[in-house]
Structure 1
Amino acid sequence: MNGFDSGIHARRRALFMEQLGAAAAVIPAAALATHHADCEWPFRQESDFFYLTGFDEPDAVALLLPHRPEGERYVLFVQPKDPAAEVWTGFRWGTEGAVERYGADLAHPLDQLSEKLPEYLAGAEAIAFRVGRHTSVESMVLSAWGRQLDTYARTGTAALGLVAPTPILHRLRLRKEPHELERLREACRISSEAHELARSITRPGMNEAEVQAAMEAHFRSNGARGPAYGSIVAGGDNACVLHYTANTAPLQDGDLLLIDAGCSLEDYYNGDITRTFPVNGRFTAEQRELYSVVLEAQEAAVAVVAPGGTAEAVHDTALRILVEGLVDLGLLIGDVNGIIERGDYRHLYMHRTGHWLGLDVHDVGAYRLGEQPAPLEPGMVLTVEPGLYVSDRLSVPEGQPEIDDRWKGIGIRIEDDVAVTETGHEVLTAGALKSVAAMER
């Protein structure tokens, strides 16, 4: 992995264990997933496991044991070195590498987990484990806990219960460290370049797949692992399908092309950008008017990203400008506040305005704390992505005008990745242009 630093993960483990108290955490890695027959999908590590360990192999388990003595608090169970297996599936670090490179206090072959787990969990006041996702490990955790309960009458000690490690981990992951912000800047730089490339090569008669291929080749040739998610390259009315990924249609003269695509780095930090532009280089009057509304909403929403603000305020800012613009264009009628309260805009704008970004594209972290929206803090990174989608797919709410054919088939979304700073915000994806003038040629 590029720039691997075991100290980064060691600091994270220390913070995590400090908040665990006397609980013992069991954090499994991802397993390989079958694509078809005996072929597997490319491996993607489980993000919580990677955040704490940096270890990028399947079928491993990390134990974080603050109740144990120094030198026994970080234990990795991994696939052992096996030259015969490595001929088929590639290099393994094994138990020695788990200690020497990845900083484990102790490491064991994975097939010893069932035997050794009860001993490592003994003395913990609780067991931190995410139930429902890793069935084979879960059965071992429950068995070890059950043995403690069975012997409680004789020993007087047992873990009091299972607790979820994710609230602690996800609070830590929500605020990005300086190292993480640098990695996100790199992912956004490569992703921005790919969007600029796409706009420069797009012409009527090309296929959506050609544009996708050019962008993803740029990702790989610049050191990224590949696309962070299924790239959306949607010409014309396809852009009104929010998660369109077929990417097989020809690009028509006079249509818009919506591209929602970003790269994932070797250490899983992601870019997530959407740009929309005319295939032939010139907006029609209707396209320009709708694009200008979305752009105004997006820029205003980005402007309110700052410490003490909220993701909810970002959405509300964008939504009001979108609705005002749609009323001005006659696509909605009535009082703006009433339209928003009733949701009469949802046939034209049906999603929220953004999400957290980090190791996961839709990254972890709470948007609300009880009844209140969570305040933005320096180090948080979110997307800002309002859009408008004009089609016949959803019925027009009662009292709103039917849509004239000249508007139909126009789908527009503009998305940037924005980091909260001490004094405001930083647009990480500024290298991907978005002005009306920049979208034309």
Structure 2
Amino acid sequence: MSSAGDTATDAKTQPSETPATTSTNRRQPFGRGFLDTISTGWADRPESHPPRREQADFAAARRAAVSAAFPGQRLVIPAGGLAQRSNDTDHPFRAHSAFAHLTGWASDAEPDAVLVLEPQDQGHEPTLYFRERADRTTSEFYSDAAIGEFWIGPRPSLAGVASELGLATAHLDDLQLDDDDLTVGHDPALTRFVSELRLVKDEYEIAQMRLAVEVTARGFDDIVANLPGVIAHPRGERIVEGVFHQRARSDGNAVGYETIAASGPHACYLHWTRNDGAVVPGDLILIDAGVEVDSLYTADITRTLPVNGTFTDVQRRVYETVREAADAAFAAARPGVPFRAVHAAAMEVIAARVAEWGLLPVSAEEALDADQGGQHRRYMVHGTSHHLGIDVHDCAEARREMYYDAPLEPGMVFTIEPGLYFQIDDLTVPQELRGIGVRIEDDILMTADGPVNLSADIPRTADEVEAWIARLT
């Protein structure tokens, strides 16, 4: 699975041994017979010109917006390269989000590709550079495990990608970069702009978000249907993760982030991804998971389930409080309302309820004071909402005034995800609450008429969750 690099000479003239420079001692020498015949005896493979992709026109409009913001400047948007996992193995490649957004090239994008916007008298001329296919006419075909088609299968051609994306393409070897180029990831202004460009989704992006939620819902159904097997395994959290991953890979590209399958006290750890614990009847299991579809858009959904199918009275009280907070946040979300108001609405409910339960040393009103309060945040330290799209935490490079302090607009997609977490060793809460963690997370599309819960079909209320488990197990 390793690459020896572009070290071979032409197949018909290479000496009958491996190149001197190699990254592994596993390479074996090639005999003269192999070298003389490897390029012959293959059927013709006609050059294909696939139809233009649906997302190509949307990507062109996004590039036009970037062009207008940076007149006369050469702009460089890299896809990024392979990241080493260990020794000679790599992580699966995923293109940089800005690159995918501005090209329309997503799950099948090539490592090390680069989009360049060349300044013209009017606007920019885009060119997509990537390494041309290492087919049977090249020595890399058999000698380079990273790009050779004998190793990894057919790779896209320059002409084929140009046809699909409506972009001029060129070989990566032809790319020359200058010190004056503005490059995403290096130039703060360009990096910020391409992030803020995703704050309001276009028609294609919204359709992809709906698809990601739809596939994710099927993944949650799979988990519920497999609860008996989950409970039976000593590391049931891993079974939850694996069941969801199967759906993500079969119906999408991958998971959009590492699945959180947090049972019992693990649910109180906000980013529990170790997923090595048992799933025990009587406990709750918090599952935070999202499918990334082939366009790279991802859902981000959390449901908290009673493992044995029925909430205890205490679990139900905590669960319904979190749902109350989520519903309050949803009610506060309207076009023109500052994004931060969504969090504030959820916090009002959380502070009021934990004060009622006697968990605060001050009143709910005092806890909500921006300067002197915050005592309730012990039990919900994270925010209520973040933008969602081609990244699970989309638009992360945006300025605060364009993100938390900005008004909500039609086309924005964001999460609502309040929670309550009472850690197992928290002496500020009664014993009956310790080890209970609940989060409910939905994906919200803002429209001109108000918010739409894209994940509303996944059971949310305590009664709906119990009926869901009874129906599928």
Could you tell me the TM-score, scaled by structure 1's length?
0.84
Give the counterpart letter for 1:362 in structure 2.
H
1:166 is aligned, of 191, 199, 219, to 191
Quote the Cα distance in structure 2 between the aligned partners of 1:167 and 1:347.
32
Q: Which has the larger Rg?
A: 2
Quote the Cα distance in structure 1 between the aligned partners of 2:245 and 2:191.
32
The answer to whether the 8 A contact 2:75-2:116 is kept is yes
What does residue 390 of structure 1 align with?
422
Give the counterpart letter for 1:77 in structure 2.
Y
The Cα shift of 1:439 comes to 1.9
Give the counterpart letter for 2:94 in structure 1.
R
1:97 is aligned, of 152, 160, 163, to 160
Kindly report which structure 2 residues correspond to 1:252-401, keeping only aligned pairs within 5 A, or say none: 252-341=280-369, 342-364=373-395, 366=398, 368-369=400-401, 373-392=405-424
What does residue 209 of structure 1 align with?
238
The Cα shift of 1:130 comes to 3.1
Deviates more, 1:163-172 or 1:79-88: 163-172
SS at match of 2:375: coil
The percent of aligned pairs where both chains have the same amino acid is: 35
Deviates more, 1:38-47 or 1:164-173: 164-173
The Cα shift of 1:390 comes to 0.2
What does residue 77 of structure 2 align with?
27
Give the counterpart letter for 2:173 in structure 1.
D
Q: What is the Cα-based RMSD across aligned positions, in Å?
A: 2.3
Give the counterpart letter for 1:73 in structure 2.
E
Change beyond 3 A, Cα 1:412–1:370: closer
1:108 is aligned, of 170, 178, 200, to 170
CA-to-partner distance for each residue in 1:356-411, whole Å, 9 max, x for gaps?
A: 000000001536318981111010100000001101566x7xxxxx2221110000
Give the counterpart letter for 2:374 in structure 1.
G
Give the counterpart letter for 1:405 in structure 2.
Q
What does residue 139 of structure 1 align with?
none
Change beyond 3 A, Cα 1:259–1:422: same
Give the counterpart letter for 1:79 in structure 2.
R
Quote the Cα distance in structure 1 between the aligned partners of 2:98 and 2:382.
27
Quote the Cα distance in structure 2 between the aligned partners of 1:9 and 1:224.
21
1:75 is aligned, of 118, 127, 138, to 127
The Cα shift of 1:210 comes to 1.6
Quote the Cα distance in structure 2 between the aligned partners of 1:214 and 1:372.
35
The Cα shift of 1:68 comes to 5.3
Change beyond 3 A, Cα 1:228–1:377: same
The answer to whether the 8 A contact 2:338-2:404 is kept is no
CA-to-partner distance for each residue in 1:83-135, whole Å, 9 max, x for gaps?
A: 10122233322332343332223x33212223xx45xx9xxxx7422355xxx
- Give the unaligned 5+ runs of structure 1: 133-161, 397-401
The Cα shift of 1:308 comes to 0.6
Is 1:130 aligned to 2:184, yes or no? yes
Give the counterpart letter for 1:176 in structure 2.
K
What does residue 199 of structure 1 align with?
224
What does residue 406 of structure 1 align with?
432
SS at match of 1:354: coil
CA-to-partner distance for each residue in 1:323-354, whole Å, 9 max, x for gaps?
A: 11111222224311211232112321110001
What does residue 207 of structure 2 align with?
182
Change beyond 3 A, Cα 1:168–1:280: same
SS at match of 1:295: helix
CA-to-partner distance for each residue in 1:285-326, whole Å, 9 max, x for gaps?
A: 211111111010011111222211122100010011011111
Could you tell me the TM-score, scaled by structure 2's length?
0.78
The answer to whether the 8 A contact 1:311-1:367 is kept is no
Change beyond 3 A, Cα 1:40–1:210: same
The Cα shift of 1:8 comes to 2.2
Is 1:418 aligned to 2:471, yes or no? no
Change beyond 3 A, Cα 1:278–1:290: same
The Cα shift of 1:235 comes to 0.6
Quote the Cα distance in structure 1 between the aligned partners of 2:264 and 2:188.
49
What does residue 219 of structure 1 align with?
248
Quote the Cα distance in structure 2 between the aligned partners of 1:183 and 1:371.
22
Quote the Cα distance in structure 2 between the aligned partners of 1:110 and 1:250.
49
The Cα shift of 1:69 comes to 6.8
2:99 is aligned, of 40, 44, 49, to 49
Quote the Cα distance in structure 2 between the aligned partners of 1:208 and 1:392.
18
- Give the unaligned 5+ runs of structure 2: 1-49, 136-140, 142-147
